[in-house]
Amino acid sequence: MRAATASSAASHTDFLGHPKGVFVCFFTEMWERFSFYGMKALLLLYILKYHLFGDDAGFDLLGAYGGLVYAVPVIGGLLADRYLGMRKAVVLGGVLLVLGHLGMAYEGEQARIVDGIVVRDEGALQVFYLSLALIIMGVGFLKPNISTIVGKLYAPEDPRRDSGFTLFYAGINVGALFASLVCAFLGETYGWKYGFGAAGIGMIAGLIVFIWGQKYLYGLAEPNDPAKLRERVGPLSREWWIYIGSVAGALLVWQLIQRTWTVHGAMHLIAAALAVWFIWFLVRHCTKVERQQMLALVVLIVGVLIFFTLYEQTYGSWVTFTDRMLTKDLFGMTPGNYQPGIPWAMFALAASPILMVTALRASDRGNGGLAKAAVIAMVVGLAIALVHDVVLVPQTAGSLTFLGAFFIVVLAPIFSWLWPWLDRRGLNPSKPAKMAIGLVFAGLAFVPLMLAAQSAGSGVLASVWWLVLAYFLLELGEMCLSPIGLSAVTQLSVARVVGLMMGAFWLATAYSEVLAAQFGKLTSMEVLEGETFDMAVAATRYGDLFQLMLWIGVGSGIAYFVLSPLVRRWMHGVR
């Protein structure tokens, strides 16, 4: 009822056909994703090159971090739903993220090898681990709740809801797109602290926009039961216990992230426990139809797990492969005697919050011309900066991760037209068929990299365009998978355990990070002091991994095609 009322009231103060709160959430999530992916693009390279971790240890840390960053939102979402409310959860998450990203900017002394032993700045490493923990907890509170706010801004029957979420997810991809071009480029070109610092400043911008834009949320993000939140439990209110608990959680994660085997082991145990519970629940508490729908859901969740195990190679083995064995300049149009400058995207991004605030305030005053002009200026500025930074600036291994978000931005409008077009003709593939197509494309994405590894084995860097083709194929796969996932959970799960199944979905995504890291370790190269990097040996190891990923993706895709008719019957009419 509250959502419907707010949506109706807000209809008089919409902007570009949507509630203004959507644009506040758009910018908050854009900057959160900017900081998150900017840091992630640098993470593996930073620990390998600056702190001189071996490849195995680097991949283990990357897997533990990725696993926790997708697992903790299950807790953050539950606390916000039951007690804290979305607004306070997002602000708490934003503050933790700012502290974490700025902490990452503290480098300390670079590790060095003395008499064959790696000597590291242990104090700086502890700051690094604590910063990772703060980021993990921050994402846990912010990520699951910002999208919930978007949903509350529309009445359940509002026909603009789907396009509103499309606009919101565009913010995610814009943030991810520019994150690599700015943060990774600065970190690898000028110093790691500048890349991590830029990520922190981006998150500050997002937090400021969210706090400033509270009036456009119409009170929909407040706690469900404020009295319960204020209720004292011992010496403090329940709200303060949640804040203290979040800090304690960060301190716990600080210790866990240093012992990656505990995180990996916990993930395996959780997966086993969920499997046992699921079998028990199917046997004891489900009707035949419910049992079959739940089985169909698990098949789809497993498909998502397989896909993201392949996909997350983009921040692991793909990054080290690009760094070691590929050229970096996409177009060869860098001016002669080029000296690295500041990415133009920094200026366009810095102007974007000012322009968005100007647009919303102008709309409040009824000045639609100024509001639209501000939005156009923002879009044009970002587009010009993107072209400049991609075409005229040599990329780095980390900055080239922008390709994933770039192809999502390019392909999303095509696929958003394609699925309804196919549906009108009775040709729209079922969920399991789309899963199969996505897995096949994910597997095929590794073919260009196999060819690149083969080429680089001769000792000459392979063309970066092999990587571009790999990303294109991978994102075709993601576009096929994107209609599946969370919607399948809500449609197929038994209603009384839908929350638990939603948690299982996110834990499957977390588990894929751990698995991706273990596969990435197959490419590990430990180069001893005084030795040179052996391109031929590296090419063989990368080629073997890429071939394995190819067979996993294509093989799984074929299996899903075969299972598709059965799974479709188990879904009992759910599309």
Q: What is the pLDDT of residue 13?
A: 67
Q: What is the pLDDT of residue 551?
A: 97
pLDDT of 277 above 80? yes
**pLDDT tens digits for 117-159?**
889 999 999 999 999 999 999 988 888 788 778 878 887 777 7
In sequence order, what are the residues at sequence separation of 6 or more whose Cβ sits closer than 8 angstroms to the Cβ of residue 470? 318, 445, 446, 447, 448, 449
DSSP-derived secondary structure for 493-534: S-GGGHHHHHHHHHHHHHHHHHHHHHHHGGG-----TTPPP-
Q: Rounded CA gap, 467 and 452, in Å?
A: 8
Query: Count of H helices and E strands in the chain?
Result: 23, 4
Write b or e for each residue in 394-404: b if 16 or more Cβ atoms lie within 10 A of its Cβ, otherwise e.
bbbbbbbbbbb
User: pLDDT: is 216 or 574 the higher one?
Assistant: 216
Lookup: tokens for 138: 């921050």
Q: What is the pLDDT of residue 337?
A: 64
Residue 402 identity (one-letter amino acid): F
Q: What is the pLDDT of residue 225?
A: 82
pLDDT of 448 above 60? yes
Once rounded to an integer, what is the mean pLDDT over residues 299-326?
A: 94
In 3D space, the residue among 256, 339, 374, 309 whose CA is nearest the CA of residue 508 turns out to be 309
Lookup: tokens for 206: 């997002």
Please measure the distance between the N-terminal and C-terminal CA atoms of the chain and give it in whole angstroms: 28
Residue % of the chain over a pLDDT of 70? 94
Q: What is the pTM of this model?
A: 0.90
Q: Which helix (H) or strand (E) holds 69?
A: helix 55-71
Least confident segment among 2-11, 200-209, 276-285: 2-11
In 3D space, the residue among 94, 103, 107 whose CA is nearest the CA of residue 202 turns out to be 94
**pLDDT tens digits for 11-34?**
446 887 888 888 888 888 888 888
**pLDDT tens digits for 355-372?**
988 998 898 888 888 999
Q: What is the pLDDT of residue 246?
A: 92
pLDDT of 521 above 90? yes
User: pLDDT: is 546 or 329 the higher one?
Assistant: 546
Q: What is the pLDDT of residue 3?
A: 44
